[in-house]
Amino acid sequence: MIDSEPFHHRAFDTVFREYGKALTAEDNNKYFIGISDIDAAKDMVVRYQLPITPQELVEKKQSAYRELVANEITPQPGLIELLSKLQEHGYTNAIASSSMLFEIEFVMNALHINQYIDAHCSAQEVDHGKPAPDLFLYAARKLGLEPTVCLVLERIFQGKS
Protein backbone atom coordinates (compact mmCIF):
# COMPACT_ATOMS: atom_id res chain seq x y z
CA MET A 1 0.00 0.00 0.00
CA ILE A 2 2.83 2.30 0.91
CA ASP A 3 6.52 1.67 1.16
CA SER A 4 6.48 1.92 4.93
CA GLU A 5 9.87 0.37 5.63
CA PRO A 6 11.85 3.57 5.01
CA PHE A 7 9.54 5.37 7.47
CA HIS A 8 10.02 2.67 10.11
CA HIS A 9 13.79 2.72 9.63
CA ARG A 10 14.02 6.51 9.78
CA ALA A 11 11.78 6.65 12.85
CA PHE A 12 13.89 4.10 14.75
CA ASP A 13 17.06 5.89 13.62
CA THR A 14 15.66 9.18 14.93
CA VAL A 15 15.39 7.62 18.37
CA PHE A 16 18.82 5.98 18.12
CA ARG A 17 20.35 9.39 17.43
CA GLU A 18 18.94 10.70 20.71
CA TYR A 19 21.34 8.24 22.35
CA GLY A 20 24.34 8.92 20.09
CA LYS A 21 23.78 5.80 17.99
CA ALA A 22 22.65 5.08 14.44
CA LEU A 23 20.59 2.35 12.84
CA THR A 24 22.10 1.68 9.44
CA ALA A 25 19.95 0.71 6.48
CA GLU A 26 22.02 -2.47 6.23
CA ASP A 27 21.26 -3.52 9.82
CA ASN A 28 17.62 -2.51 9.48
CA ASN A 29 17.25 -4.61 6.33
CA LYS A 30 19.14 -7.55 7.79
CA TYR A 31 17.43 -7.79 11.18
CA PHE A 32 14.22 -5.81 11.45
CA ILE A 33 12.16 -5.64 8.26
CA GLY A 34 8.76 -7.24 8.59
CA ILE A 35 8.79 -7.88 12.33
CA SER A 36 6.71 -6.10 14.92
CA ASP A 37 7.98 -2.96 16.61
CA ILE A 38 8.15 -4.59 20.02
CA ASP A 39 10.08 -7.60 18.73
CA ALA A 40 12.48 -5.29 16.90
CA ALA A 41 12.83 -3.06 19.98
CA LYS A 42 13.64 -6.00 22.26
CA ASP A 43 16.50 -6.95 19.96
CA MET A 44 17.62 -3.34 19.40
CA VAL A 45 17.89 -2.48 23.10
CA VAL A 46 20.27 -5.40 23.62
CA ARG A 47 22.12 -5.34 20.29
CA TYR A 48 22.82 -1.58 20.39
CA GLN A 49 22.98 -1.22 24.19
CA LEU A 50 20.29 1.44 24.31
CA PRO A 51 19.60 2.81 27.82
CA ILE A 52 15.80 2.54 27.52
CA THR A 53 13.26 -0.24 27.70
CA PRO A 54 11.87 -1.82 24.55
CA GLN A 55 8.47 -0.26 25.31
CA GLU A 56 10.02 3.22 25.63
CA LEU A 57 11.82 2.70 22.34
CA VAL A 58 8.56 1.69 20.64
CA GLU A 59 6.71 4.72 22.03
CA LYS A 60 9.40 7.14 20.85
CA LYS A 61 9.60 5.41 17.47
CA GLN A 62 5.84 5.60 17.00
CA SER A 63 5.87 9.34 17.63
CA ALA A 64 8.63 9.85 15.06
CA TYR A 65 6.82 7.55 12.61
CA ARG A 66 3.57 9.53 12.84
CA GLU A 67 5.40 12.76 12.09
CA LEU A 68 7.25 11.30 9.10
CA VAL A 69 4.20 9.62 7.57
CA ALA A 70 1.98 12.65 8.07
CA ASN A 71 4.36 14.76 6.00
CA GLU A 72 5.52 12.29 3.35
CA ILE A 73 2.99 9.50 2.74
CA THR A 74 2.20 8.46 -0.82
CA PRO A 75 0.40 5.33 -2.04
CA GLN A 76 2.19 2.76 -4.13
CA PRO A 77 1.50 3.31 -7.84
CA GLY A 78 -1.82 1.75 -8.84
CA LEU A 79 -3.04 1.13 -5.28
CA ILE A 80 -6.21 3.22 -5.42
CA GLU A 81 -7.12 1.85 -8.84
CA LEU A 82 -6.58 -1.74 -7.66
CA LEU A 83 -8.68 -1.28 -4.53
CA SER A 84 -11.44 0.35 -6.55
CA LYS A 85 -11.49 -2.49 -9.10
CA LEU A 86 -11.50 -5.16 -6.40
CA GLN A 87 -14.43 -3.47 -4.69
CA GLU A 88 -16.23 -3.03 -8.02
CA HIS A 89 -15.95 -6.79 -8.61
CA GLY A 90 -17.22 -7.70 -5.14
CA TYR A 91 -13.98 -8.66 -3.42
CA THR A 92 -13.52 -8.03 0.28
CA ASN A 93 -10.19 -6.63 1.37
CA ALA A 94 -8.18 -6.77 4.55
CA ILE A 95 -4.91 -5.28 5.60
CA ALA A 96 -2.72 -7.71 7.54
CA SER A 97 0.38 -5.85 8.67
CA SER A 98 3.29 -6.12 11.05
CA SER A 99 2.67 -2.44 11.81
CA MET A 100 0.88 -1.37 14.96
CA LEU A 101 -2.90 -0.91 14.74
CA PHE A 102 -2.66 2.86 15.11
CA GLU A 103 -0.13 2.95 12.25
CA ILE A 104 -2.42 0.95 9.96
CA GLU A 105 -5.35 3.22 10.77
CA PHE A 106 -3.22 6.34 10.37
CA VAL A 107 -2.14 5.22 6.88
CA MET A 108 -5.67 4.22 5.88
CA ASN A 109 -6.94 7.66 6.90
CA ALA A 110 -4.06 9.52 5.27
CA LEU A 111 -4.59 7.68 1.97
CA HIS A 112 -8.40 8.01 2.17
CA ILE A 113 -8.93 4.29 1.53
CA ASN A 114 -11.21 3.32 4.43
CA GLN A 115 -14.12 2.71 2.04
CA TYR A 116 -12.12 -0.05 0.30
CA ILE A 117 -11.00 -1.93 3.41
CA ASP A 118 -13.35 -4.38 5.12
CA ALA A 119 -10.99 -5.38 7.93
CA HIS A 120 -7.52 -4.63 9.19
CA CYS A 121 -5.31 -6.42 11.67
CA SER A 122 -1.90 -6.09 13.19
CA ALA A 123 0.76 -8.52 14.32
CA GLN A 124 0.11 -7.17 17.83
CA GLU A 125 -3.21 -9.08 17.75
CA VAL A 126 -1.73 -12.53 17.14
CA ASP A 127 0.74 -14.78 18.93
CA HIS A 128 3.20 -15.04 16.05
CA GLY A 129 3.84 -12.30 13.50
CA LYS A 130 5.09 -12.69 9.95
CA PRO A 131 6.38 -14.88 8.46
CA ALA A 132 4.16 -17.19 10.53
CA PRO A 133 0.66 -17.50 9.00
CA ASP A 134 -1.20 -16.35 12.14
CA LEU A 135 -1.79 -12.80 10.91
CA PHE A 136 -3.14 -13.91 7.54
CA LEU A 137 -5.38 -16.53 9.14
CA TYR A 138 -6.71 -13.89 11.51
CA ALA A 139 -7.44 -11.56 8.60
CA ALA A 140 -9.39 -14.33 6.84
CA ARG A 141 -11.42 -14.92 10.02
CA LYS A 142 -12.17 -11.21 10.32
CA LEU A 143 -13.47 -11.27 6.75
CA GLY A 144 -15.50 -14.43 7.47
CA LEU A 145 -13.64 -16.34 4.76
CA GLU A 146 -11.83 -19.64 4.52
CA PRO A 147 -8.10 -19.09 4.01
CA THR A 148 -8.20 -21.25 0.89
CA VAL A 149 -10.22 -18.58 -0.96
CA CYS A 150 -7.93 -15.72 0.03
CA LEU A 151 -5.08 -14.14 -1.87
CA VAL A 152 -2.22 -12.37 -0.10
CA LEU A 153 -0.36 -9.57 -1.82
CA GLU A 154 2.96 -9.03 -0.10
CA ARG A 155 6.01 -7.00 -0.98
CA ILE A 156 9.25 -8.95 -0.91
CA PHE A 157 12.20 -7.11 0.59
CA GLN A 158 15.53 -7.69 -1.10
CA GLY A 159 17.70 -6.99 1.95
CA LYS A 160 16.10 -9.49 4.32
CA SER A 161 18.24 -12.55 5.10
Write the pLDDT tens digit of every residue in 2-39.
888 899 999 999 999 999 999 999 999 999 987 888 99
CA 88 vs CA 82, 93, 94: distances in Å: 10, 12, 15
Q: Are 64 and 14 in contact (CB under 8 A)?
A: yes
Is 133 within 8 Å of 152 (Cβ atoms)? no
Which pLDDT band, with edges at 50, 70 and 90, does 156 fall under? Answer: low
Q: Where in the chain is the domain with CATH 3.40.50.1000?
A: 79-149
Superfamily for 79-149?
A: HAD superfamily/HAD-like (3.40.50.1000)
Q: Where exactly does CATH 1.10.150.240 map onto the chain?
A: 5-72
pLDDT value of position 161: 37
Residue 159 has pLDDT above 90, yes or no: no
Q: Indicate if the pLDDT at residue 72 is higher than 90.
A: no
Q: Is 92 exposed, middle or buried (0-12, 13-18, 19+ CB in 10 A)?
A: middle
Note the pLDDT of residue 143: 97
Predicted confidence at residue 35, as pLDDT, reads: 82
d(CA 152, CA 111): 20
What fold characterizes domain 5-72?
A: DNA polymerase; domain 1 (1.10.150)
Eight-state DSSP code of residue 157: P
Higher pLDDT, 118 or 37: 118
Q: Do you find a cis peptide bond into 131, omega within 30 degrees of 0?
A: yes
Predicted pLDDT of residue 73: 86
132 versus 45: which is more confidently predicted? 45
pLDDT of residue 117: 97
82-100 pLDDT, tens digit each = 999 999 999 999 999 988 8
Dihedral in degrees, nearest 10, Cα atoms 4, 107, 87, 85: -50
| pLDDT confidence tier of residue 57, bands split at 50, 70 and 90 | very high
